[in-house]
Structure 1
């Protein structure tokens, strides 16, 4: 059990913030090794670990954005930080609406190996196309209301398994003219409210069911996903401008091909 938890938490932590689809990776152990789903408690734990990682890494920015946002509510002059904070809030709305309206449909009909394989490949190619056409002109502070809404719509598309929330929002950011690092940073920052809301929803469901909570499993999942997600964020931001997105695109194509081979076999 502990080995399964550690490996799955590592997979979740590393792939949550890379543009390579965490759902595509999490389906492999169950298909190839016959591992059982670790349950909702594990999902809550790894979401919490990922959330803590991004909050810790961007702690200075989060404090600054929160202070500026509260100031804007108090009627102070708008600043770059307050506008960015409002853009992140706006970008969260589409995924919340789509999740509420179609979450059940997505869980029941789209969480299949074939869907994940196809979306892994298709959205990987879209990422490559966006990077080839990108102008790399804007910082995350220049996203604007329209850009924030479009990024939010992209994040909503990521509810389809295999799309990759990080991948599709990075793709949208590049198409909007953001630099690679700016698109990645906005993607990380906008992940905070959506991971919090998704994790809270799962936690409420867990408590409402009156399930026995395996605290040792949750604690291990939180710790491992926190460490792996923190390492992932640091490395990705350090390397994205130097290596570009092609390595991730090629990896997605290979992963999608492996999934199709597994499904067809």
Structure 2
């Protein structure tokens, strides 16, 4: 691999993994503008590990408290922290199960630019509607009470968990659909984003584990230096992206990302139709 490839692919992975704009759609555009060969499964794993490392480090204090509370729940000690920890665990089960069952079908039939374009547009409009409802409610004299992530209800957990299954459709964006579900079920903007980021930890870890198994079966060549640099760049860019995104949505909401999705979806339709 050329170092320019390492830089570009690492930054794309780090900057788009946690934004509601679909990292898969952006990676699809790379061969459109370049003649680069596929970077290989090992490099993909390295980039995902960098993103995973970033979200773990960013939320390390929250994760420590959640883990301690989760362990305490086995001894009958329930708390808001243990409830949130269980919500993260249980919300991962549907997407993990469906992902294993449908992986081959999705890779063979749905990883096209047209599918991604429609997913970007349809789920982008849904995200825009959810954020518009949130903004309108916030401007009312007596806005409805919304939950933080530590007050998440069983109903919200179920809906967000099921919505995460839709992220298996290329172009949907896992963070985008879970934030949409969070907003529609009554979470605050910040809580929807934070819960989405916390949900990404087991999902990325499971995906990386599955890829590692495939890598072992394929016995592909591994070049460690580009992988190490890619992991570092992906982690740094993802960490900065999380921090920037949480600050941005407090001030501007999610509408800028909605418009970006619509423009990107339209461009993909132009390219692939």
TM-score of the aligned structures, taking structure 1 as reference length: 0.96
Q: What is the match of residue 84 of structure 2?
A: 84
Distance 1:257 1:97 in 2: 32
SS of 2:20's equivalent in the other structure is: coil
| Contact 1:50–1:226, Cα closer than 8 Å, also in 2 | yes
Mind listing any 5+ residue stretches in structure 1 that lack a counterpart? Answer: none
Q: What is the match of residue 196 of structure 2?
A: 187
> In the TM superposition, what whole-angstrom CA distance separates every residue of 1:60-81 from its partner, at most 9, and x where no partner exists?
00000000000101222x0000
Q: CA RMSD in A?
A: 1.1
Q: Show the 5 A alignment for 1:110-259.
A: 110-134=110-134, 135=137, 137-259=146-268
SS of 2:250's equivalent in the other structure is: helix
Mind listing any 5+ residue stretches in structure 2 that lack a counterpart? Answer: 139-145
Distance 1:47 1:72 in 2: 30
Q: Which runs of 4+ in 1 moved over 6 A?
A: none
Q: What is the match of residue 12 of structure 1?
A: 13
Distance 1:184 1:173 in 2: 8
Q: What is the match of residue 29 of structure 2?
A: 28
> In the TM superposition, what whole-angstrom CA distance separates every residue of 1:177-203 from its partner, at most 9, and x where no partner exists?
111000000000011011111111111
- Displacement of 1:25: 0.6
- Displacement of 1:36: 2.1
Distance 1:28 1:70 in 2: 43
How many aligned positions are there?
A: 263
SS of 2:168's equivalent in the other structure is: coil
1:109 lines up with 2:103 in the alignment: no
- Displacement of 1:34: 3.0
* Mean Cα deviation higher: 107-116 or 213-222: 213-222
| Contact 1:44–1:203, Cα closer than 8 Å, also in 2 | yes
Distance 1:31 1:124 in 2: 23
